[in-house]
Copies of this chain bind each other. A is one copy, B any other.
Amino acid sequence: MRSLRKTLLLAVVVSVVVVLALLHSWPTRGYPTVDVWQRRGPLLSDRSLEDKLAESDHQLSSIPIRVRESVASLLSRNSCICEGDSGGLNLPFSQLLFPRVSAHSLHTAFKPSELEELKRRRAQEYQSFLKRSQTPADVLIIAEANNPLQFPTQGVEVRPLKTIIIPGLALHDSPRERYTVNFTVALGTLSVAAEVDGVRVKGDGENHMTITSLALNSLNRQLQFVTYTNTLFHPSTADTVQFETDRHQASFVIKIRHSTTPKLYNTGSKQGYNVSALVTIATKTFLRYDKLQDLIDSVRRFYPTVTIVIADDSEQPKSISGPFIEHYIMPFEKGWFAGRNLAVSQVTTKYVLWVDDDFIFTANTKLEKLVDVLEKTTLDLVGGAVREATGYTATYRQTISIEPGEEEGDCLHVRRGFHHAIEGFPNCVVTDGVINFFLARTDKVQQVGFDPRLARVAHLEFFIDGLGSLHVGSCDDVIVNHATKIRLPWVSQSESDKTYAKFRYPSASSDATQTKDRLLYFKNRFQCLTRN
């Protein structure tokens, strides 16, 4: 009896150990490895169709054409050229009435000796970036004509590792003895959610599946239940489905991605616009506490409870007191865009209003108007107007476009002006860049960000970084005053003004321009900036 008990005990101990060992190794079994290396994988493409196209191209290329310059000249060149306007009239006010375009090659910001290495490194970083951002959903796919296959060309999506029914599949073939279609995918498996009599399915649960039937209607009934399951995880990619039948094929893409999670703000009750609940004012200050206090006092006359966020990189920061004021101290001279990025990173309201620390609010600074624009339109940011002491009011509207380049980089084109007026808002237009007085959706501004590598003078770089994601507007009927910068000879400059000027307008001001140019060259991969 005793030895039996011993044996039993031993058996139990051994099984427990085995079970624990199994459980310990469990998580790694059955989890295939995934290759996330930055290698260029084969992008499935419809080779036979490309061949067909090349063939027909060959037939057609013998037919003569007459090029229409007016249209052909609008197409992008292979690589952009860095050139502005040459010559032109040199009349007085000509720059004002007919602003000439100047072109600036950005590689000149670097020493010639370092340029070679820099270009190589930039190309390398750019290749990595492309591998991380491109997917099969961007590839050109052309549907062949007279294809008996019916299939979805757009709009098919599955969340990572989930399953969907592929919609819209069918075969509309001429009568034949037997009908066969097959599917091939790369990042998942195929199956059917329901079975139909008289239809044979081969490869169920694999990445290649064939469906056969003698009756076309039965085949098409089966095709209403083909499923795709993503099995190779990636948070944002696409799988290409090769769909084939005898002598014909089609390619289409299934996007594999999470839905975009919204970032909504609770705006409180909707009777009128409660500016304090909707808007936070953000600004950066440096050595100009007097001007900053003037700004705060002027804001408080109209908006006594709106939160003001202040990023401060002064050398000996003073305390700024008052309710609804958030004061952030930064390392001395950390910089302009670093301060802007800090300030907006702290905003918890739906909208953020950017102001410079030397603005003055007046009765014309009706923030409710700007809120109205963003509440009612799809704009993400709307600029106002800044009035100088002279009465001159600026909106600084800029349109921005990028012309693709090749190895040298792209060309950045900036022009004064705007695209369209906005229906329903007669004082407002759509543009790409505005003056430093604007209201914007907080989540969009935080997403674009102000690059902390820009320490001194910078402005447009924010709008360049926002190109494509910010929908920008500008209204000229919401005006803020600018505390004068004009140095009146009979007014002595305050000490803080003098120190400020030393930093803001350094004698080596070309340093700031060089930093900006270097950043445009490397970070954004531009070769050229043209502007008027």
Contacts and interface: CB of A to CB of B under 8 A. Distances in A.
A424 B36 CA distance: 9
A97 B149 contact: no
A154 interface: yes
Interface string A348-391: 10000000000000000000000000001111100000000000
Contact of A235 (B74, B334, B467): B467
Contact of A262 (B126, B144, B233, B345): B126
Interface stretch (A281-289, A290-298, A446-454, A502-510): A446-454
A137 B254 CA distance: 13
A257 B468 contact: yes
A85 to B, nearest CB: 18
Contact of A453 (B33, B227, B348): B348
A486 interface: no
Interface residues of A, number: 158
A25 interface: no
B330 A341 contact: no
A348 B341 CA distance: 12
A279 interface: no
Interface in A131-165: 131-133, 137-156, 159-165
Interface in A488-513: none
Given A141-B152, A150-B144, A417 B27 contact: yes
Nearest to A338: B346
A140 to B, nearest CB: 3
Contact of A153 (B141, B192, B404, B424): B141
A103 to B, nearest CB: 19
Contacts of A56: 170, 220
Interface string A405-446: 000001000000111111110000110100000000000001
B523 A262 contact: yes
A32 B420 contact: yes
A147 B144 CA distance: 9
B194 A66 contact: yes
Nearest to A125: B264
A63 interface: yes
